[in-house]
Amino acid sequence: MTPRIFCLIAAAVFSLIALGHAIRLLFGWHVTVENIVVPFWISWIGLAIAGYLAYASRLGLKRATFITRMKKLGVNPNMVSERDGVGSDIRDSSASSTSVLP
Protein backbone atom coordinates (compact mmCIF):
# COMPACT_ATOMS: atom_id res chain seq x y z
CA MET A 1 0.00 0.00 0.00
CA THR A 2 1.43 3.36 -0.98
CA PRO A 3 1.61 6.22 1.55
CA ARG A 4 -0.87 8.19 -0.54
CA ILE A 5 -3.51 5.44 -0.40
CA PHE A 6 -2.90 4.88 3.32
CA CYS A 7 -3.35 8.58 4.10
CA LEU A 8 -6.51 8.72 1.98
CA ILE A 9 -8.05 5.72 3.78
CA ALA A 10 -7.04 7.04 7.22
CA ALA A 11 -8.51 10.47 6.46
CA ALA A 12 -11.78 8.88 5.30
CA VAL A 13 -12.08 6.64 8.38
CA PHE A 14 -11.34 9.43 10.86
CA SER A 15 -13.71 11.77 9.02
CA LEU A 16 -16.53 9.23 9.33
CA ILE A 17 -15.85 8.82 13.05
CA ALA A 18 -15.86 12.59 13.56
CA LEU A 19 -19.07 12.84 11.55
CA GLY A 20 -20.70 10.17 13.75
CA HIS A 21 -19.80 12.10 16.90
CA ALA A 22 -21.06 15.35 15.38
CA ILE A 23 -24.39 13.78 14.39
CA ARG A 24 -24.81 12.33 17.89
CA LEU A 25 -24.24 15.76 19.42
CA LEU A 26 -26.49 17.51 16.91
CA PHE A 27 -29.48 15.20 17.34
CA GLY A 28 -28.91 14.46 21.03
CA TRP A 29 -28.84 10.69 20.61
CA HIS A 30 -28.28 8.74 23.80
CA VAL A 31 -25.85 5.81 23.70
CA THR A 32 -26.11 3.02 26.24
CA VAL A 33 -23.46 0.36 26.71
CA GLU A 34 -24.52 -2.45 29.08
CA ASN A 35 -26.91 -0.25 31.10
CA ILE A 36 -24.40 2.61 31.30
CA VAL A 37 -25.34 5.83 29.51
CA VAL A 38 -22.37 7.35 27.67
CA PRO A 39 -22.19 11.09 28.46
CA PHE A 40 -22.16 13.67 25.71
CA TRP A 41 -18.74 15.04 26.70
CA ILE A 42 -17.26 11.78 25.42
CA SER A 43 -18.52 12.71 21.95
CA TRP A 44 -16.99 16.18 22.23
CA ILE A 45 -13.62 14.59 22.95
CA GLY A 46 -14.15 12.00 20.20
CA LEU A 47 -15.09 14.73 17.74
CA ALA A 48 -11.99 16.76 18.57
CA ILE A 49 -9.59 13.81 18.38
CA ALA A 50 -11.10 12.22 15.25
CA GLY A 51 -11.32 15.61 13.55
CA TYR A 52 -7.67 16.34 14.29
CA LEU A 53 -6.57 12.90 13.08
CA ALA A 54 -8.58 13.33 9.87
CA TYR A 55 -6.96 16.72 9.33
CA ALA A 56 -3.48 15.34 10.09
CA SER A 57 -4.07 12.43 7.70
CA ARG A 58 -5.11 14.89 5.01
CA LEU A 59 -1.88 16.82 5.59
CA GLY A 60 0.00 13.53 5.40
CA LEU A 61 -1.61 12.95 2.03
CA LYS A 62 -0.23 16.25 0.76
CA ARG A 63 3.17 15.45 2.25
CA ALA A 64 3.20 11.96 0.72
CA THR A 65 2.30 13.42 -2.66
CA PHE A 66 5.06 16.03 -2.30
CA ILE A 67 7.66 13.36 -1.45
CA THR A 68 6.54 11.29 -4.44
CA ARG A 69 6.99 14.29 -6.72
CA MET A 70 10.43 14.95 -5.27
CA LYS A 71 11.46 11.35 -5.97
CA LYS A 72 10.17 11.60 -9.56
CA LEU A 73 12.31 14.70 -10.07
CA GLY A 74 15.34 12.86 -8.75
CA VAL A 75 15.59 14.78 -5.47
CA ASN A 76 16.32 12.64 -2.42
CA PRO A 77 13.93 13.81 0.34
CA ASN A 78 16.20 12.30 3.02
CA MET A 79 19.21 14.42 2.06
CA VAL A 80 19.74 17.60 4.02
CA SER A 81 21.82 20.03 2.06
CA GLU A 82 23.96 22.73 3.61
CA ARG A 83 24.57 25.73 1.43
CA ASP A 84 28.30 26.51 1.20
CA GLY A 85 29.00 24.89 4.56
CA VAL A 86 26.84 27.36 6.48
CA GLY A 87 26.46 26.24 10.07
CA SER A 88 29.24 23.65 9.96
CA ASP A 89 32.31 25.16 11.57
CA ILE A 90 35.06 22.54 11.76
CA ARG A 91 37.83 24.69 13.23
CA ASP A 92 39.54 23.40 16.36
CA SER A 93 39.28 25.92 19.17
CA SER A 94 41.45 24.06 21.67
CA ALA A 95 44.46 25.79 23.29
CA SER A 96 46.98 23.52 21.55
CA SER A 97 45.82 24.52 18.11
CA THR A 98 46.32 28.24 18.73
CA SER A 99 50.07 28.08 19.35
CA VAL A 100 52.21 30.49 17.38
CA LEU A 101 54.86 29.07 15.07
CA PRO A 102 58.44 30.57 15.33
pLDDT score of 57 more than 80: yes
**Burial (Cβ within 10 Å: 0-12, 13-18, ≥19) of residue 18:** buried
Q: Which residue has the higher pLDDT, 75 or 8?
A: 8
Q: Is the pTM of this model over 0.75?
A: no
Within 13 Å and on the Cβ side, how many CA atoms surround 50? 17
- What average pLDDT is seen over the chain? 79
Tens-place pLDDT, residues 22-36: 999 999 999 999 999
CB 4 within 8 A of CB 65: yes
pLDDT confidence bin for 83, thresholds 50/70/90: low
pLDDT confidence bin for 74, thresholds 50/70/90: confident
Distance, CA of 53 to CA of 15 (rounded, Å): 8
Q: Which residue has the higher pLDDT, 1 or 49?
A: 49
Distance, CA of 102 to CA of 100 (rounded, Å): 7
